[in-house]
Amino acid sequence: MSEFKFCPVCAASLVLRADEGEAGKVRLACPEGHWTHWDNPLPVLAALVEIDGKMLTARNAAWAEGRFALITGFMERDETPEQGIARELKEETDLDAEQIELIGVYEFMRKNELIIAYYVKASGTIKLSPELLEYRLSEPADLRPWPAGTGHAVADWMRQRGLPVQYVEFAGSSSPIETPQVLK
């Protein structure tokens, strides 16, 4: 459930406790009532970046070869999501965000994240941070969404522009799969 074992206030061992006020949801909590681990989803920002008419995807240094996806990162305290995605874009690619439009909000339950995805029109020269190993520039119609996380944002953006959507097995793959059922 969590890596937390002790209350950060009194150091008591945490216990699993069901809250009747929350339909019996079980959470880690201090037996003395000092602290509860809510384990809420973490907001993550994602950018589908257009530069000079091409769409940018990148490969994170921690990913297997051939896996390319959107530019992503975490919000910082005291910034709006739009400021955050502009900052992440600058940090990871050295590009400047010229236009930012919300695509949508997506669950990523496997990592307990809530993805806030944007279309970002950018300018500048791409210079990758050490966090990213390589990038691809594709025609918008050549994008291939994947059936998880930010892949749904890519599919929604393509549909908004009347582009055909063909899902692939994973980010960066060229192996098509049947269109997954997406519940919203």
Instruction: For residue 15, give Cα distances in angstroms to 18, 136, 139.
Output: 10, 48, 52
DSSP code of residue 125: -
Of the candidate ranges 26-30, 32-36, 72-76, 179-183, the one whose mean pLDDT is the lowest: 179-183
DSSP, collapsed to helix, strand or coil, labels residue 83 as helix
List, in order, residues 6 or more apart from 121 with CB less than 8 Å away: 49, 50, 51, 97, 98, 99
Domain layout of the chain by residue ranges: 1-39, 42-160
pLDDT at 184 over 50: no
Q: Supply the CATH classification number for the domain 1-39.
A: 2.20.70
Classify domain 42-160 at the CATH topology level.
Nucleoside Triphosphate Pyrophosphohydrolase (3.90.79)
Give 125-155 pLDDT, tens digit per residue.
Answer: 999 999 999 999 999 999 999 988 899 999 9
Confidence grade of residue 169 (pLDDT, cut at 50, 70, 90): confident
Of the candidate ranges 18-22, 57-61, 129-133, 180-184, the one whose mean pLDDT is the lowest: 180-184
Query: How far is 38 from 122, CA to CA, in rounded Å?
Result: 37
